[in-house]
Structure 1
Amino acid sequence: MDVHLDGSRGVGVSRLEVIEGPSGRRRRTKADRARIAAESMMPGVKVADVARKHGTTRWQIYDWRRQIRKGNLVLPDSIAALPMFAELVVDDSAVDAATARPASDLEIVVGDVVIRAGADTDERQLTRAIRAARAAAS
């Protein structure tokens, strides 16, 4: 219980305010800590929201999560069976675009101009292209 006295020394107390409730430090069991940390690991859940809901800080939850990884806290059986990794999704369109365009063996940047040349590019043509790019950049 916290007590706040409003008044100066030597003068009678004009007001007395008694504040009841939790003192700030909470004693949680290992099972409670593991349950709260596991709740923060669920997909789409924000750690800050879980911390606010349970009256703790984000950093405390991050510490509990670290303890779970080290094996100091044990997840409840109902949560331990759930996958804890993000699902891997491969976008086929990105792969198709990359394979459709052959990769250049050489890429030269002159100012705003990019010159890409393959292994079979003629040396004279490449020299002319570089000179033209330099002239355009000046």
Structure 2
Amino acid sequence: MGVHLDGSCNGSVSRLEMIEGPSGRRQRTEAERARIAAESLIPGMRVADIARKHGTTRWQIYNWRNKLRSGQLMVPESLASLPMFAELMVESDIATVPPPRVLSEVEIVVGDVVIRASAGADEVHLTRAIRAARAAMS
């Protein structure tokens, strides 16, 4: 409730107006505060953007973040159980990474000769390799 005084400067009041209704301050539950604070901790999110989105101030969000970290605010169980994703980091320097080793999927044994081929091996090449191994044994 607000009070508005209208009158002269000599101390007497000529009119007293009572304003009722909401004060303009928003009352948030602890769950809302924790959810907003947790949202501001997501990598890449800016506190100013979150404050603007939820109609609050940056200092309130920083205060709620501190309370969240110290355990004075708790994230609701429904929000805490949601899957969170880690940020993907991709390095552009491929030269330092050794090439992945291709594992054989097919292993053909002809006598003492073992022929290993990947899944994408050409049938014609495999046939030639098998014939060559058989010819070498005779």
Give the TM-score range, shorter chain.
0.3 to 0.5
Q: Which has the higher helix share?
A: 1
Bigger Rg over Cα = 2
Q: TM-score, normalised by structure 2?
A: 0.48
Q: TM-score, normalised by structure 1?
A: 0.48
